[in-house]
Structure 1
Amino acid sequence: MLDPTAGHGSSSRTYRVLLGKQNLVEEEAGSVAVAVEKMIVHEKWNSFLIVNDIALLKLAEHVENSDTIQPACLPDPDALLAQDYPCYITGWGRLWTNGPISDNLQQALLPVVDHETCTKRDWWGSTVRATMVCAGGDGVVSGCNGDSGGPLNCQNAKGWEVHGIVSFGSGLGCNTAKKPTVFTRVSAYNSWITEKMNQN
C-alpha cells in the first residue's frame, strides 16, 4: 500500500501512519498505527521552486478497510477540475494563523480555483504551475501550517478521489483572500506514482 504525501515533509525521521484517527490524543476504537517501510520522494523535488512536492509512503503491512478506514482513488491522468468544484481539505494543522494545532481532525469545503484564475497577478501569479491545483481563496477558509501532505478529496460518480496534496499557502497568513491553498495536482503524477508502485 502506498500513500501519497508532500515531498517537503520528508527527512531522516522514523514515520508511522495513523489510519482511522479523528483525535490525536485519545485512544479510538478502529484506529490503526502502521510503520512506514519506505519513503519515496520525487527525484526532482525542488524546495526553492516548490515543484514536484510529492512522496509515497510504503506501509510495512497491509491495512484492511473498515467503517473508519476507506481508500480514496487516484484521479484520471491529467484530470482537471472546473472552477468551484466542491472538494474537501482535511488535516490537523493550525486552526488559524499562529493559532494552536488541532487535536481533532478538521475538515473544510474548499472549492477549486481554476488555473486561469489562480495564476492571475493579484492571486498567485506565476508561482502556481500547471502541476498544481488551487482551492479556497475566499479569505475565510483555508489550509494552514501543519496541514501539509494532507489530501484534497473530491467526489464524483465513481466515488472519492485524491486530487491534491497540500503543498503551500500564503506567507501573509492562513485565510488570505485571493491566496487559495495550493496543492500538488495528483493527476499530473499518475505515471510517476504507477512507476514507483511497480518498482517497490
Structure 2
Amino acid sequence: MAASIVVTYDGRGVASMLSAATLLASPDRLGRALHDSVRAAGDKTRTVVRKSLHQQMGTKRYGTIVAATRSFIPGPMTYVIEGRGKGLPIIEFPVRGSRAKGRTWRDQPRDAAGRFGPLPPSDIGFVTARPWRVAHNFKRSFVAADGTYKARLPGSTRTRKLFGPSVAKEIVKVATLTAFEATAPREMDLQIGKRLARILP
C-alpha cells in the first residue's frame, strides 16, 4: 500500500525571471538550476511532512516515519513524497499490557479434577496503546508468552498481532496535508528565485 503527495511547480510567480534567465543562460545551466531548486524545496517539504506525520500519528520514534516514507523526482519540476506500507506494529506507539488480571483466575472454569479450563469468551482487552496520541484499548487483546501484543479474533481461538495506523493512509489526511500545502509553494518559490538569481549576470 502506498499514497503520495506531489509538489508540481506553477511558475507564473517567476515567469519574467525565467524568461530573462532563458535568454542569458545556457539551457543546461538553467535546467540544472531548476532541478536543484525542486530537489531542495522538496527535501525541505519532506522534512516538514515527516515531522507532521510523527506528531499526527503519535509514533515513539521519528525514525519510524522516515523508514515508511520516501521521495523521488519522476519528471521535470515535480517532487513526490510517498508514504508506504500497511499499519505500523503497535510497538511503534506508546503501549502497555498485561498477561493476565487477578480476577481472570477466578473466572476460569475447572474440570472434574479441579484443573483450570479455558477462559470463557470475553471482549475484555489487556493491551492499551496511544496511536494518534489517544489511548485506545484493544478488545480481546493480551500479551503473549513471547511478549508480543495480540488479540483474539471474534468467535475464534485464532489470534492476530496488533497494528496501529498506516503512514500511507495518514500522509493525505488533514494535519499533514495542511503542513504540506503551507510549505511546498513557499519553498519552491524561494529555492527557484535564489538559484535563478545566481545565474543572472
Which structure is richer in relative contact order (CA contacts within 8 A, separation 6 or more)? 2
TM-score by length of 2: 0.22
Higher strand share: 1
Looking at secondary structure, tell me which structure has more helix per residue.
2
Larger radius of gyration: 2
Q: Normalising by structure 1, what TM-score?
A: 0.22
